[in-house]
């Protein structure tokens, strides 16, 4: 049974995929993982920038690149030059889309261009999250100062006994360190 790649329309044999463990992994990711179910087209388009066709000959390279993308998607974080950046799923897909639309003259060798694109997206997401947190904090502060109501009570019912004891111990150490 022959199947077509959703992005490049290359034809590959399903039985070859099942026999080859690397292609079996690829097939499982594309059919069972959230990344493959929702975003298979941009992921396959990005992976194809690494010249992984024909699939049955370059299946181990295909698998390694796809594993990197899956790890990135699952952790929602990546490291670049000894610094860790947080990024959302939407940010990852946006970065993949930017990479796909860039006309590369050569085959990609590593994920560095993707990481550079994701750094700017990560910083933008961080700034917007910071602005939202600041707005929420100011609104809570204004409500408390104007007497329109107390700030929202936080629900601490889900804190376990062990966490409570660890927190009390840390507070005690802080008080001792400042001379109390």
CA–CA gap between residue 29 and residue 73 (Å, rounded): 12
Domain ranges, ordered by start, for the chain: 2-126, 138-180
Q: What is the pLDDT of residue 155?
A: 65
Q: 49: which 2 tokens?
A: 């920038």
Long-range CB contacts for residues 111-115, cutoff 8 Å, separation at least 24: 111/68, 112/80, 114/46, 115/78, 115/80
Determine contact, residues 49/100, Cβ cutoff 8 Å.
Answer: yes
Give the pLDDT confidence score for residue 5 in this predicted structure. Answer: 67
Contacts of 64 (CB under 8 A, 6+ apart): none
Q: Enter the pTM of the model.
A: 0.60
Residue ranges of the alpha helices (H) in the chain? Answer: 14-19, 21-32, 34-48, 59-75, 89-101, 112-146, 161-177
- What's the pLDDT at 78? 84
- Tell me what pLDDT residue 180 has: 61
Tokens 């993707």, residue located: 114
Mean pLDDT by 10-residue block, N- to C-terminus, for the chain (180 residues)?
Answer: 67 63 69 73 82 69 82 84 86 88 83 86 86 87 72 68 87 84
Give the pLDDT score at 8: 63
CA atoms within 13 A on the CB side of 71: 9
């Amino acid at each position: 049974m022959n199947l077509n790649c959703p992005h490049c329309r290359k034809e590959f044999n399903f039985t070859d995929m099942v026999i080859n463990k690397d292609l079996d992994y690829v097939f499982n990711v594309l059919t069972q993982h959230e990344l493959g179910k929702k975003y298979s087209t941009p992921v396959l388009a990005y992976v194809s920038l690494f010249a992984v066709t024909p699939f049955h000959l370059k299946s181990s390279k295909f698998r390694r690149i796809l594993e990197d993308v899956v790890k990135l998607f699952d952790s929602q974080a990546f490291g670049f030059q000894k610094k860790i950046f947080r990024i959302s799923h939407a940010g990852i897909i946006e970065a993949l889309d930017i990479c796909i639309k860039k006309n590369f003259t050569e085959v990609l060798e590593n994920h560095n261009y993707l990481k550079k694109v994701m750094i700017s997206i990560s910083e933008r997401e961080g700034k917007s999250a910071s602005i939202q947190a600041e707005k929420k904090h100011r609104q809570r502060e204004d409500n408390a100062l104007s007497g329109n109501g107390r700030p929202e009570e936080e629900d601490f019912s889900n804190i376990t006994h062990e966490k409570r004891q660890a927190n009390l111990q840390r507070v005690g150490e802080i008080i001792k360190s400042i001379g109390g």
